[in-house]
Structure 1
Amino acid sequence: MLGELSKREIITLLESQFIGRIGCHVNGETYIVPVNYVYQNNAIYAQAGEGKKIEMLRANPRVCFQVDEIDSMFKWKSVILWGNFEELKDMERQQVMQGLILRIMPNTNEAGRHPAHAINPQLHDSLIVFRINIEQGSGRFESHDD
């Protein structure tokens, strides 16, 4: 059966996952890349190092964000959101970094290793911490009874 996720089901999916994909578009070029994230208060919070993604988001803050939960080819859920990119500063930036660390660390299986720049303490000061203020979204699912 194919169907639409309710608003509550969309929120539950966003809260249960920690990797999503950001889609940005500038000057005829579309760029899609995975990021670690936290969902809270109708917003996606994430961080990234300087690079193509941040350059594009600064040039055009309109963003698309997508999250999946895939059990099999015939059992999955997917959410797509649209909103605006906003860089965070000072105390809010620090609070979001702490939230990301708390969300990401339980999902690492090697305590001594850090996923790239996601939670590496040596890189904290150079990271761009941001929010995607969600304006709209939708969700779909496929599920078949056995």
Structure 2
Amino acid sequence: MSRRSGGSGGSGGEGDRGRDETPDERSDRNWVELLQELRVMQTGVQILTGFLLTLPFQARFADLDTFQVGVYLALVGLSVLATGLFVTPVSLHRALFRKHRKPALVTLSDRVTRAGILVLALVFTGTVLLVVDVVVNRTAAFWASGAILVLLVGLWFALPRAAVRGV
């Protein structure tokens, strides 16, 4: 089998140029790298989801107003959605296992993971909104959560995009 370098094989692309690997090797490497990223994110989102699920059993939960309960329920839904998105690549792997579809698996899993990261940013932002609203006040909560959203968009979306462009 001849070796090629360059091209795109899933979530790779620009960073793959200059590697001496076959398309199958590139797909395997991209899959392993994606799984490592998912392990990191999945652990964090599962801890956060578990924390959120315990809140109704705390004494002060009954003190939440309608807005705070709504934010809480949205956070639970988003957190469960993020968990589901981060587990989806495993389900895709099961469906495509031994079907010689690794490039498609990597590409689709990359897209699902990106969606999961977006949802996770919303969960973190909403968590700050809820906590600051309960502890300080609603105005501070909107400012703090807005700042967190800007920070996360910068770190998780703008910075990687700039890195790809070579900045």
Shorter-chain TM band: under 0.3
Query: TM (normalized to structure 1)?
Result: 0.23
Structure with higher helix content? 2
Quick one: higher RCO (CA 8 Å, sep 6+), 1 or 2?
1
